Amino acid sequence: RTKKIKEEDTHDVEIKEGIEACVGNTPLFRIKSLSEETGCDILGKAEFLNGAGGSPKDRVALNMIKTAEEEGLLTPHSGDTIYEGTVGSTGISLATICRARGYLAHICMPSDQATEKSDLLLKLGAVVDRVPPAPIIDPMHFVNRARNLAADHTADPTRPGRGYFADQFENQANWQAHFEGTGPEIYQQCGGKLDAFVAGAGTGGTIAGVARFLKSKLPNLRVVLADPQGSGLFNRIKNGVMFDTLEKEGTRRRSQVDTIVEGIGINRVTANFEAGRELIDDAIKVNDEEALAMARWLAEKDGMFVGSSSAVNCKWSLGVAGYSHLTKEGVAAARLARLSGPGQRIVTILCDSGTRHLSKFWTHAGDIGGKTDSKLNDIIGD
């Protein structure tokens, strides 16, 4: 029978206002297979469940737009267009929230990114420029192109509205979104009890914002950067310089980070990363083979179909848990094994679904088929 609801029973029901209200307050859950293998609580913050664009970039996009509105730089339903250079996730979040708040989106992205990202952007009504990969000093670099297009729009009296360059790499509203949202949520969900936070970095906003909040509450918390191959952030933390061994000396004009992982890793300093750099205690490299193996493991053992950056984050969570002796490169293994062990609580970020990585990352990862008997040593390496 259907229970008849009395009017007085409905006064406490919370109705959200628009898709923007579905951003944030994502679940934190125990990744069972990794926790059981390590004797630690390895917890995943399910940022892929953000309700607009399905990634932590929802928080960033919404906060950048709100901040610009407060500063009088954007006016809803005026013809204003938001321009951004992105490898995909920020663009998807912006395109979604732009439509919800009365703006248009123009997204510039490298042409070597997974095609499903640009396909989705087009379905959301964004203008998409897929530009050839280029170094940041090139005017046609995807970030520079977005900046220039925004300026051209504003300067053109024949076009409606203004062009606003969101500038996710340098915009302080990026890390502030995580300082005000992601960090407090993790702290509350853990009851204030956690030992380490692990995350990769692209713009650096997530790790900086979360670190700034959590370290203010838990000064002894370990914050660890997970960096894919080809990225220079590992050396930025370890040695104070931006350099990766895959880059030949004197060739700083590299086009892109040399990895199949998308969304994290970079070879330049950003304001958002620098906002939290001093709070990052350690860093490790995760190569493509390790990321692919971890993605397959999570699908097989936990039914988790994650994107490439989530696989990197989970792989490094094992290192913090004292399983770093399983890494193929063995970077910082002894140090991290001493730092942790069974009983630790480690939180990492699950950024987006593997459905955005089908044509690139998961093409390399392949199908897991009917496999059920993988061992962690087999997946990670000896």
What number of CA atoms fall less than 13 Å from residue 27's CA on the CB side? 4
Alpha-carbon span 361 to 140, nearest angstrom:
25
Q: Are 146 and 169 in contact (CB under 8 A)?
A: no
**Residue whose entry in the numeric block shows the structure tokens 């390790």:** 290
Among 3, 32, 57, 215, the one annotated catalytic: 57
Order of strands, sheet of 28-30, starting from the edge strand that comes earlier in the sequence: 28-30, 41-46, 345-350, 196-199, 222-228, 282-286
* Structure tokens belonging to residue 305: 């179909």
Phi/psi at 144 (5° precision): -65, -40
Alpha-carbon span 29 to 47, nearest angstrom:
11
Active site residue 57: yes
Alpha-carbon span 79 to 159, nearest angstrom:
8
DSSP H helices, 247-319, are 271-274, 288-302, 308-318
* Coil vs helix vs strand at 234: helix
Q: Which residues contact 17 (CB under 8 A, 6 or more apart)?
A: none
Distance of CA 7 to the CA centre of its chain: 43
CA torsion through residues 310, 314, 315, 319, sign? positive
Report, as residue numbers or ranges, the catalytic residues: 57
